[in-house]
C-alpha cells in the first residue's frame, strides 16, 4: 500500500479530494444506482480504453484527461456531496436545470469569476437539499456523530485518506483548504516532541518538511527519479533522553502523588524518590532552557505528561512554553514508555497519511453500520402535570381580645401539664372567670384530647392539680367524655374524669374527696366512683399491707432455719469409716461400692470436700512405692 506524507501529497490526489462527513441523520433507503450508460466506442478504442464514473450514474469517458476534467467539474462535485448527504445523484441535464432555477444572488456577482460562480452554485444547491431534508418536528432531530481523532477525505473512485485533527491549527474547520496550504512552506517546518512518565523522559526537535526552494533544488538534482514526487524530509535536529528514580518498583504512582494522598513517608526509598522527582524537573527545565531558541520557531509542541507533570514544562518563572500557547498539542493515540524509539514511532504516526480503498457501497455500509451503533437519542421527557396544590386554610385574623384569650389558654394548659399547682392557683384567681369557669370546654384549636381541665389533669397523672380542681376550684367530676372526644371505638361508651385516671393515686384522690365532701356531687352515680376512701380505710389498708409483708418475712426466716438444721444434722449422723490398709496394685478412684451410699444426704460442699480427700489419699498411695 502506498504511503503519503501530510506535507507532500501528490497534486493529482489533492485536486480530487473532498471531505468525508458522516451522515448525521437516520439512514434513508437509497434508490439503486442506475446502470452505466452503454456508449458505442470508436473503432480506435475497441472497448479497452473506456472509463466510467460510478458516482455520476455511470458516465463513460474516452481517455484519462476527459475523466480528470469530469472529476473537477461542478456536476461531479455536486453528486459527491449529494451522495455523502444520503441523496441520489443526478444526470448532467438535471444538474443544468437545477443551476438554472437558482437565483442570480446565489451564483455570485457579475464581477466574480466563472469558477467562483460555479462553486457558489454547487454550495447553494447542496444547502438547498439540506434544508429540504430537515425534519419538520423536533422529535426527528438528527443524531450527532462523535468527533473522532482522524478527519477523512475521499478521492474518487475508491481512495480515502485520514489525517489527525491535531495536526491542523486550533479552531480550524475547513481541513481541506488547510491541507492544501500545508503543501507549500516558505521555510522548513519543525515540531517539538516531549514525553515523560514513570521517571523517564524523551524529547526531540524534528524537521517534518523542508522549504519550497529546497524541494525544487532536490527535484532538479534527482532528475527522472523525482517523477513520483519528492520524499518527505524528516530529520531529528535535537534529541535527549534521561531517567530518574521516582516510582517504586511494581507499585506505580509517583512519590509526590503518594505523599499528597497519604502521610508523608520517611523511609530512605521515599527520600530517594523525592530527590529523583526534583532532579527530573530540574533536568527537563534545563533542557527546555537550552532549546529555547529552537522551541520558539517550532510549528507544533507535542507533550505527553500527566496533569501534575505538565507543570514541569510550562508556567514557571522564565518558562519558554506558555500554558495558553496555541501550538500545544497532546498525542491523539496511546503511547508507550518515553524513549527515543517511541518518539520516532509517534512522529511517523502523526505525519503519515492513513490510506484506505473502499468503494461507494462499502463506504455507505460502513457509515450506516457506524450510525446504527451510536446510542439512540434520548426521548424528550414530557413534563409531568403540575400537582394540584390545595390552598391551605388561611389563619383566621384574630382581634387583640382573641389573641389575649388564646395566649391565656396556652399558658394555663402548659402549667397544667407541668404540674405547677401554685402557678395555676394564682393564675386562676386572676383570669379564671374570664376563661369561662373551671368546667368550660377547652377550645378545639388547643389540640387537647379531652374536654375539661379536670379530665386533662386526670389523664396527665397530675395528682396535686386534680385535688386542687376538686377541692378548691369545685370542678364537676360528673361531666361525661363522649367517644368522639377521646377516640373510643364504641359510640355507646360514656366515661368521666375518674375513668380517665392514669394511675391508682389519681383514683384514690377522687375517692378521698368524695368521702370528705359527699354532698357536693353525685360521686357514686353520675361520677362513676365505686366507693369513698376515708382515713380509717386507708389506715386499715396500710395495716393489712404491713401484716402481709411481715408474714412473708417470717415464712422466709423459717425456711432458712430448716435448711440450716438439715445441713448440720446429717453430717453428724454419718458413721465414720475406718481407713483400710494400703494395698498394692491399682485401686479405683473414689473407694468401694459403698462410696455412693456414704455421701448420700450431704450438702454439695461436704461432698466436694470428701471427694478431694479421697483423691489425695489415692495420690499418696500411688507415690508410696516411689518414696521407698
Q: Give the count of beta carbons closer than 10 Å to the beta carbon of residue 268.
A: 8
In 437-563, DSSP assigns E strands to: none
Residues 6+ apart with CB under 8 A from 280: 196, 199, 201, 242, 244, 246, 312
Write the DSSP string, 594-621.
THHHHTTT--HHHHHHHHHHHHHHHHHH
**310/536 Cα distance (integer angstroms):** 99
In 442-515, DSSP assigns E strands to: none
Burial 330-346 (b: 16+ CB within 10 A, else e): ebeeebeebeeebbbeb
Residue 338 and residue 304 in contact, taking contact as beta carbons nearer than 8 Å: yes
Q: Is 371 helix (H, G, I), strand (E, B) or coil?
A: helix
Residue 190 and residue 205 in contact, taking contact as beta carbons nearer than 8 Å: yes
Residues 6+ apart with CB under 8 A from 336: 342
**528/526 Cα distance (integer angstroms):** 5
484 is a catalytic site residue: no
Residue 475 and residue 439 in contact, taking contact as beta carbons nearer than 8 Å: yes
Catalytic choice (2, 160, 172, 255): 255
Cell of 560: 432458712
**465/443 Cα distance (integer angstroms):** 20
Residue 298 and residue 306 in contact, taking contact as beta carbons nearer than 8 Å: no
Largest Cα separation within the chain, whole Å, is: 152
Catalytic residues: 255
Amino acid at each position: 500500500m502506498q504511503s503519503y506524507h501530510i506535507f507532500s501529497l501528490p497534486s493529482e490526489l489533492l485536486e480530487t479530494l473532498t471531505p468525508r462527513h458522516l451522515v448525521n441523520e437516520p439512514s434513508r433507503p437509497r434508490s439503486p444506482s442506475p446502470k452505466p450508460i452503454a456508449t458505442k466506442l470508436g473503432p480506435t478504442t475497441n472497448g479497452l480504453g473506456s472509463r466510467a464514473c460510478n458516482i455520476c450514474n455511470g458516465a463513460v469517458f474516452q481517455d484519462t484527461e476527459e475523466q480528470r476534467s469530469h472529476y473537477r467539474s461542478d456536476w461531479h462535485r455536486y453528486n459527491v456531496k449529494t451522495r455523502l448527504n444520503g441523496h441520489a445523484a443526478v444526470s448532467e441535464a438535471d444538474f443544468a436545470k437545477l443551476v438554472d432555477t437558482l437565483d442570480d444572488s446565489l451564483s455570485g456577482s457579475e464581477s466574480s469569476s466563472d469558477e467562483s460562480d460555479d462553486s457558489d452554485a454547487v454550495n447553494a444547491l447542496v444547502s438547498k437539499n439540506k434544508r429540504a431534508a430537515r425534519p419538520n418536528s423536533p422529535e426527528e432531530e438528527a443524531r450527532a456523530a462523535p468527533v473522532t481523532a482522524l478527519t477523512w477525505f475521499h478521492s474518487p473512485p475508491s481512495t480515502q485518506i485520514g489525517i489527525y485533527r491535531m495536526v491542523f491549527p486550533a479552531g480550524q474547520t475547513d481541513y481541506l483548504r488547510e491541507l492544501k496550504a500545508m503543501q507549500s512552506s516558505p521555510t522548513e517546518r519543525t515540531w517539538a516532541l516531549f514525553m515523560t512518565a514513570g521517571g523517564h523522559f524523551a524529547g526531540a526537535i524534528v524537521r517534518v518538511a523542508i522549504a519550497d526552494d529546497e524541494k525544487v533544488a532536490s527535484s532538479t538534482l534527482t532528475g527522472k527519479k523525482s517523477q513520483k514526487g519528492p520524499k518527505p524530509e524528516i530529520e531529528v535536529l535535537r534529541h535527549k533522553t534521561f531517567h530518574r528514580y521516582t516510582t517504586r518498583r511494581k507499585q506505580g504512582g509517583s512519590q509526590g502523588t503518594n505523599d499528597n494522598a497519604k502521610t508523608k513517608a520517611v523511609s530512605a526509598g521515599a527520600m530517594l524518590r523525592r530527590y529523583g522527582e526534583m532532579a527530573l524537573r530540574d533536568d527537563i527545565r534545563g533542557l527546555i532552557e537550552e532549546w529555547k531558541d529552537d522551541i520558539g520557531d517550532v510549528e507544533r509542541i507535542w507533550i505527553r505528561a500527566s496533569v501534575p507533570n505538565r507543570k514541569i514544562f510550562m508556567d514557571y518563572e522564565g518558562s519558554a512554553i506558555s500554558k495558553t500557547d496555541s501550538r500545544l498539542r497532546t498525542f491523539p493515540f496511546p503511547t508507550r514508555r518515553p524513549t527515543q524509539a517511541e518518539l520516532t514511532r509517534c512522529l511517523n504516526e502523526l505525519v503519515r497519511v492513513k490510506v484506505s480503498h473502499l468503494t461507494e457501497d462499502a463506504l455507505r455500509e460502513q457509515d450506516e453500520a457506524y450510525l446504527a451503533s451510536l446510542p439512540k437519542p434520548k426521548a424528550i421527557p414530557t413534563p409531568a402535570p403540575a400537582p394540584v396544590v390545595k390552598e391551605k386554610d388561611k389563619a383566621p385574623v384574630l382581634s387583640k381580645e382573641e389573641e389575649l384569650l388564646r395566649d391565656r389558654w396556652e399558658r394555663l394548659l402548659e402549667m397544667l401539664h407541668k404540674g405547677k399547682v401554685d402557678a395555676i392557683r394564682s393564675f386562676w384567681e386572676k383570669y379564671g372567670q374570664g376563661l369561662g369557669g373551671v368546667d368550660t370546654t377547652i377550645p378545639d384549636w388547643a389540640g387537647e384530647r379531652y374536654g375539661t381541665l379536670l379530665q386533662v389533669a386526670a389523664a396527665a397523672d397530675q395528682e396535686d392539680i386534680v385535688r386542687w380542681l376538686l377541692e378548691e376550684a369545685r370542678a364537676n367530676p360528673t361531666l361525661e367524655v363522649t367517644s368522639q372526644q377521646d377516640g373510643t371505638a364504641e359510640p355507646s361508651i360514656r366515661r368521666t374524669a375518674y375513668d380517665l385516671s392514669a394511675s391508682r393515686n389519681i383514683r384514690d384522690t377522687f375517692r378521698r374527696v368524695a368521702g370528705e365532701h359527699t354532698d357536693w356531687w353525685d360521686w357514686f352515680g353520675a361520677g362513676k366512683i365505686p366507693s369513698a376512701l376515708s382515713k380509717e380505710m386507708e389506715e386499715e389498708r396500710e395495716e393489712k399491707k404491713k401484716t402481709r409483708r411481715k408474714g412473708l418475712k417470717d415464712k422466709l426466716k423459717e425456711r432458712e432455719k430448716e435448711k440450716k438444721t438439715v445441713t448440720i444434722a446429717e453430717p453428724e449422723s454419718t458413721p465414720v469409716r475406718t481407713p483400710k490398709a494400703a494395698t498394692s496394685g491399682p485401686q479405683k478412684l473414689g473407694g468401694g461400692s459403698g462410696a455412693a451410699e456414704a455421701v448420700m444426704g450431704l450438702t454439695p460442699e461436704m461432698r466436694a470436700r470428701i471427694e478431694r480427700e479421697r483423691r489425695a489419699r489415692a495420690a499418696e498411695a500411688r507415690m508410696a512405692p516411689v518414696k521407698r
